[in-house]
Copies of this chain bind each other. A is one copy, B any other.
Amino acid sequence: MEFQIAKEELIRALSRVQGIVEKRSTNPIIANVLLDVNEKGMQVSATDTEVSFVGNYQVECVRPGSLTLGARQLFDIARLVPTDQVRFSLPEGSAQMEISSGKAFFKVIGLSSKDFPSMPETSDGYSISMPSSSLKALVDKTLFAISSDDTRTGLNGAHIEVDKDNGSSHLRFVTTDGHRLAVCGQNFDAGDADLPDSVLLPKKGLAELRKLVEEGDGAWQVSFSQNQAVFQQDTVSFSMRLLEGEFPDYSQVLPGDWQRRVLVARETLVLALRRVSILASEKSHPVKFVIQDGSLTIQAKQPEAGEASEEIEAQVEGGDLEIGFNARYFLDVLSAMASDTVCIEIGDSLSPCLLKPGEGDDDELYVIMPMRLE
């Protein structure tokens, strides 16, 4: 195995896999990347056995071959090599990759590519096409609400559903941790996606997917098999194993009729919440919303520290109300949104509160549970 690669191309390949490889495993090979070189180029594979990545990169191949090498160490080398071109050479029968660049020389001990886990097959099943920006929105608007509580496996991922009832074809992500819920749908251009009964995408996979789709424009092919979701674009294939938990029937917690509706400028509410919550307890950040005709006043109070309050302009429909929230939950939702205004629909002081963009007709909504204040 022998090849030459541009430093920038090598960095690009290796930076992509740093979040995927797993260093703290009993199986050391999954901390490695598999480099597979032939005349067509270099295929770089990485997996933690749940989330997997395969990408193709340009190299000048002298002699084909394959080996796995420590992903972190190779990335450190790639970033620091002194020349624009890096030469890799693996003597026949050896597992020691020789890497040279200018006067710098490395001999890195690898593990045989035969022991590397096999990558998930690309699904031949249903597949849809979706722009980067739509996939990015789906993840950005829902990732924060996924539960980190390992005892609630059904909440540890994003629930996916396809909605073709309303004339347009929608792929929808739903997430919740029991305190708040996020729902976001995006149109898809073409294709068909008869989903398996339950599709639950893991948090780590979605966080890596976000990095991938942030990189550029263009459409992604998304397909689902019984246990994998696969995202493909040009030279890259990214897949994640579906979680096995069962997502709850979230339609039951979506509030129906509202009794008060408040329309406020989103950024104004964000800043007021940040300021007032300085005086809220650090444990659950409790703040009180005082809703009156024409205004929303946010208040916080701690007996030993003091209090804060701020009134902001609001269009209010319905009667006066006081209701408590965890300020952090509200800020998470407001940060996921992009609209200028936000519409808050409330029943009474103990019922779930619905947030959605104040303008536009996006398939995007959030539910936040209120909290009892002293």
Contacts and interface: CB of A to CB of B under 8 A. Distances in A.
A70 to B, nearest CB: 7
A227 interface: no
Interface stretch (A100-108, A180-188, A208-216, A337-345): A100-108
B308 A80 contact: no
B106 A76 contact: no
B80 A278 contact: yes
Contacts of A293: none
Interface in A63-108: 70, 73, 76-77, 80-82, 96, 103-108
A81 B275 contact: yes
A311 B104 CA distance: 7
A109 interface: yes
Interface in A256-305: 271-272, 274-276, 278-279, 304-305
A310 interface: yes
Contacts of A109: 304-306
Contact of A96 (B73, B76, B278, B306): B306
Copy count, this protein chain? 2
A71 B30 CA distance: 47
Contacts of A70: 305
A309 interface: yes
Contacts of A276: 104
A308 B271 contact: no
A312 interface: yes
A152 to B, nearest CB: 33
A39 interface: no
B103 A278 contact: no
A108 B305 contact: yes
A223 to B, nearest CB: 39
21 contacts: A70-B305, A73-B279, A76-B278, A77-B278, A80-B278, A82-B271, A103-B312, A104-B272, A104-B275, A104-B276, A104-B310, A105-B308, A105-B310, A106-B278, A106-B279, A107-B306, A108-B279, A108-B305, A108-B306, A109-B305, A109-B306
Given A103-B311, A106-B279, 13 more contacts: A73-B279, A73-B305, A77-B275, A77-B278, A80-B278, A96-B306, A104-B276, A105-B309, A106-B278, A106-B307, A106-B308, A108-B305, A109-B306
